[in-house]
């Protein structure tokens, strides 16, 4: 089982990603950390606790940063709803977070792990950037970073930037400069990784889990039940367990920090300007195989 830490801001696609990761036989989720992004960090934390409780798991949750490093938070409640997970009435949970900040919890988890940890950020990179700034010694026990972030082509927030890198471009830049093996699972693949009516109708039939997701899906404006729902964060989990679904390339990426393209991940795909690479980037995904992977994994949970 591969030990991982997921940094998240649920978020309806985060909710699907967490559900699969928490129940996948090859993944060992050691810690969940939360950050401000889709909605504020109080809500993303509450949503994470609700999901852990829904699946009756023992995974610790630590609350992280309430705002980006240098700029104001612009949330995404228009996509995920005011609560971040609108559409399903989760029972109130008595689960509590750890009483340390996410950055401290990550540090402890990484330094105490016998096996190197894989970091899986599926939200703005604020907590991860602070971890590397405050505790650079953690880097030696991190195997790699697999993150849903960025875009090689157009953005979904401004013309060029993907939401997670847009929310905290300075943090994203620190992460790209961290010298840790890193894979960017960006909009180039995640925007095409949709669940269509074909899959959502199947999922609807998967007992309690299916009902929960079908209700959330009706409120998710990352697409529609008719045309397909974008499963951005779920792609990062699929990359961990089934990398063969993706076509990738090594490159060098830097982040635009301001101006009309703030948050854009600029890649030197032809390696014209750099001698070394700092990232692997996903270029393509086998969409039918991904759809099947999501359905099979959600079905198995019941």
- Residue 228 bridge partners (DSSP): 224
Give the number of other CB atoms < 10 A from CB of residue 277: 16
Q: What is the distance between the alpha carbons of residues 251 and 245, in angstroms, rounded to a whole number?
A: 19
Q: What is the distance between the alpha carbons of residues 134 and 113, in angstroms, rounded to a whole number?
A: 19
Give the number of other CB atoms < 10 A from CB of residue 205: 11
- Candidates 124, 117, 170; CA nearest to 148 is 124
Provide, rounded to whole angstroms, the least separation between the CB of residue 146 and ligand BDR. 13
From 5, 147, 148, 161, residue interacting with ligand BDR (rule: CB under 6 A): 148
Range in contact with Ca ion (rule: CB under 5 A) among 118-126, 240-248, 251-259, 269-277: 118-126
Sign of CA dihedral 33, 36, 42, 46: negative
- Candidates 124, 148, 120; CA nearest to 21 is 120
From 39, 52, 122, 212, residue interacting with ligand BDR (rule: CB under 6 A): 122
| Cα first-last separation, the chain | 21
- For residue 76, state whether it binds ligand BDR (rule: CB under 6 A): yes
- For residue 75, state whether it binds ligand BDR (rule: CB under 6 A): no
- Which is catalytic among the residues 24, 80, 170, 232? 232
Where does residue 81 rank: exposed (0-12), middle (13-18), buried (19+ CB within 10 A)? Answer: buried
Sheet holding 194-195, edge to edge: 194-195, 228-230, 223-224
Closer to Ca ion by Cβ: residue 14 or 75: 14
- For residue 162, state whether it binds ligand BDR (rule: CB under 6 A): yes
Closer to ligand BDR by Cβ: residue 66 or 108: 66
Q: Known catalytic residue: 232?
A: yes
Task: Report the run of H or E that residue 266 belongs to, with start and end.
Answer: strand 265-267
- For residue 123, state whether it binds Ca ion (rule: CB under 5 A): yes
Range in contact with Ca ion (rule: CB under 5 A) among 25-33, 50-58, 225-233, 237-245: 225-233
Closer to ligand BDR by Cβ: residue 97 or 165: 165
Provide, rounded to whole angstroms, the least separation between the CB of residue 71 and ligand BDR. 16
CA dist list (Å): 239 to 54, 193, 242:
25, 12, 5
From 7, 14, 46, 199, residue interacting with Ca ion (rule: CB under 5 A): 14
Binding mask 245-284 for ligand BDR (x = CB under 6 A): ----------------------------------------
Binding site for ligand BDR (CB under 6 A): 11, 13-14, 38, 76, 79, 122-123, 148, 156, 162-164, 232-233
Binding site for Ca ion (CB under 5 A): 9, 11, 14, 122-123, 233
Please identify every residue annotated as catalytic. Answer: 232
């Amino acid at each position: 089982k591969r030990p991982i830490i997921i940094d998240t801001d649920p978020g309806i696609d985060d909710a699907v990603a967490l559900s699969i990761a928490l129940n996948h036989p090859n993944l060992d989720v050691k810690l969940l950390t939360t950050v401000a992004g889709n909605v504020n960090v109080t809500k993303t934390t509450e949503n994470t606790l609700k999901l852990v409780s829904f699946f009756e798991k023992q995974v610790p949750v630590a609350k992280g940063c309430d705002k980006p490093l240098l700029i104001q938070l612009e949330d995404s409640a228009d996509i995920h709803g005011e609560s971040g997970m609108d559409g399903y009435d989760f029972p109130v949970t008595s689960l509590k977070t750890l009483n340390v900040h996410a950055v401290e919890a990550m540090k402890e988890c990484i330094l105490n792990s016998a096996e190197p940890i894989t970091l899986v950020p599926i939200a703005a990179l604020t907590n991860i950037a602070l971890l590397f700034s405050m505790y650079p010694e953690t880097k030696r026990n991190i195997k790699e970073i697999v993150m849903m972030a960025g875009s090689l082509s157009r953005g979904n927030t401004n013309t060029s930037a993907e939401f997670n890198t847009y929310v905290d471009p300075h943090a994203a830049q620190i992460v790209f400069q961290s010298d840790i093996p890193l894979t960017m699972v960006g909009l180039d693949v995640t925007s095409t990784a949709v669940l269509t009516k074909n899959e959502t109708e199947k999922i609807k039939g998967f007992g309690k889990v299916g009902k929960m997701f079908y209700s959330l899906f009706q409120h998710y404006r990352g697409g529609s039940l008719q045309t397909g729902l974008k499963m951005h964060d779920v792609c990062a989990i699929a990359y961990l367990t089934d990398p063969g679904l993706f076509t990738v390339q090594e490159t060098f990426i830097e982040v635009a920090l301001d101006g009309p393209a703030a948050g854009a991940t600029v890649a030197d795909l032809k390696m014209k300007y750099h001698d070394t690479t700092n990232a692997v980037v996903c270029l393509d995904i086998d969409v039918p195989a991904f759809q099947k992977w999501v359905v099979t994994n959600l079905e198995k949970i019941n």
